[in-house]
Amino acid sequence: MTTQVTAGTVAGMTGPLGHGGTIGILGGGQLGRMSAMAAARLGYRCHVFAPDADSPGMQVAAAATVAPFEDAAALARFAAAVDVVTFEFENVPAGTLAILAPLAPCRPGVEVLRICQDRLLEKDFLARAGVPVAPWRAVHDEADLAGAIAAIGLPAVLKTTRLGYDGRGQAVLRRPEDAAPAFARLSPRPLILEAFVPFAAEISAIVARGTDGAVAVYDAVENQHRDHILDLSFAPARLSATTAAAARRHAAALAESLDLVGVLALELFVLPDGSLLGNEIAPRPHNSGHWTMDACAASQFEQHVRAVAGLPLASAERHHDAVMRNLVGPAGLELWPSLLKTQGIIPHWYGKAEARPGRKLGHANRLLPLGSLRALDDAAALQGL
């Protein structure tokens, strides 16, 4: 039960990108790197645009532009040199998108990024697409915050609405006196106050949607974090069949509602009764989908490239259960030699110049026979990782 294909068409898209065509990738991180590697296997070139030289993406790309995202002339040259533009992170400045959008097809579209860059628009969109969310209020000033606390109660989570990732830009409010210091610390404003969700687990579901409107949904996975950074993903998530199906259905509904061309990850909270609340949408390949590189016939990166290039999507079927461990600096660097020596572990390294604390340096996938993960406790599932 892994692939779902729906009919339908997406307006304004032309035919598939031919062999040797060039995909422009905005951003030079590991997600662009792994997308470029998948693109190469399908006969495409990638041109990475990023501010930093020798970025992980540039190391494997056919062409690179090193320039700030605000450099209009460099962006125009980039758009002229590529057939289609995609993004490996969603916080691309609005000005960059305004320059690129008239010059080259952007997949996913600029509107998708606009929604996913702003937690207020995103929450509203989730609810309208039928994905339940925890109660929330927009917070522009301290009066709003007092009103939001009165409406939602404590504990609650105060977050920035823009530029937050890996738990940055948020504070848990447990007592009324936590409110003022958190409000003073967090920027840019407005902020959002969300009810604290007493979740039993965090999961994500990844979906690809093609130019023809076909949708392929991967099995939902369970995610565990350390220091607010994804540490482990268990594929499939150890959920009831009903909850797992609901997660995949929500992801597919979002892709449809957003008119997505590309890949998105929907992060969800699982409540103790098995019901789901949507947290966040990432309109790109996602860290919690790295297991698909080894446990599925087509990875999330291949699906992303297929979608962006206008090719038919592949099956999202899983042929193994899997556990993914993120290799985060500096501990991830220390783990690397033993991972290389362990049979059954598939290592991936991103080529970053420095192993700074908190940086994602690589990941490793452990494959397990299909259907075996559910019976294992965490220690057994993690053997060798």
Could you please report the per-residue DSSP string of 133-164? B--EEEESSHHHHHHHHHHH-SSEEEEESSS-
Angle at 124 between CA 119 and CA 130, to 5 degrees: 125
**Contact present, 287 and 204 (Cβ < 8 Å):** no
Of residues 306 and 360, the one with the C-beta less far from ligand AMP: 360
Of residues 178 and 267, the one with the C-beta less far from ligand AMP: 267
Name the residue with the smallest CB distance to ligand AMP.
197
Least separation, in Å, of the C-beta of 275 and ligand AMP? Answer: 14
Of residues 71 and 280, the one with the C-beta less far from ligand AMP: 280
Least separation, in Å, of the C-beta of 122 and ligand AMP? Answer: 10
Least separation, in Å, of the C-beta of 126 and ligand AMP? Answer: 12
Of residues 45 and 137, the one with the C-beta less far from ligand AMP: 137
Report strand pairing: 201-209 vs 229-235.
unpaired
Least separation, in Å, of the C-beta of 329 and ligand AMP? Answer: 20
Of residues 202 and 219, the one with the C-beta less far from ligand AMP: 202
Of residues 10 and 134, the one with the C-beta less far from ligand AMP: 134
Least separation, in Å, of the C-beta of 307 and ligand AMP? Answer: 24
Report strand pairing: 360-368 vs 345-349.
antiparallel
Q: Residue 269: what are its φ and ψ, rounded to 5°?
A: -95, 140
Of residues 276 and 309, the one with the C-beta less far from ligand AMP: 276
- Beta-carbon contacts of residue 359 (< 8 Å; ≥ 6 apart): 328, 329, 352
Strand order in the sheet with 191-195: 136-139, 191-195, 156-160, 170-173
Rg (CA), the chain: 20
Least separation, in Å, of the C-beta of 264 and ligand AMP? Answer: 14
CA distances from 40 to 34, 82, 95 (A): 10, 15, 30
Residues that bind ligand AMP (CB under 6 A): 134, 157, 164, 167, 194, 196-197, 202, 225, 228, 267, 279-280
Of residues 194 and 321, the one with the C-beta less far from ligand AMP: 194
Of residues 57 and 278, the one with the C-beta less far from ligand AMP: 278
Residue type, 373: L
Least separation, in Å, of the C-beta of 5 and ligand AMP? Answer: 29
What angle, 0 to 180 degrees and rounded to 10, lies between the N-to-C axes of helices 30-41 and 300-309?
A: 70
- Beta-carbon contacts of residue 243 (< 8 Å; ≥ 6 apart): 270, 274, 275, 276
d(Cα 277, Cα 89) in Å, to the nearest integer? 23
- Beta-carbon contacts of residue 161 (< 8 Å; ≥ 6 apart): 118, 119, 120, 138, 189, 190, 191, 192
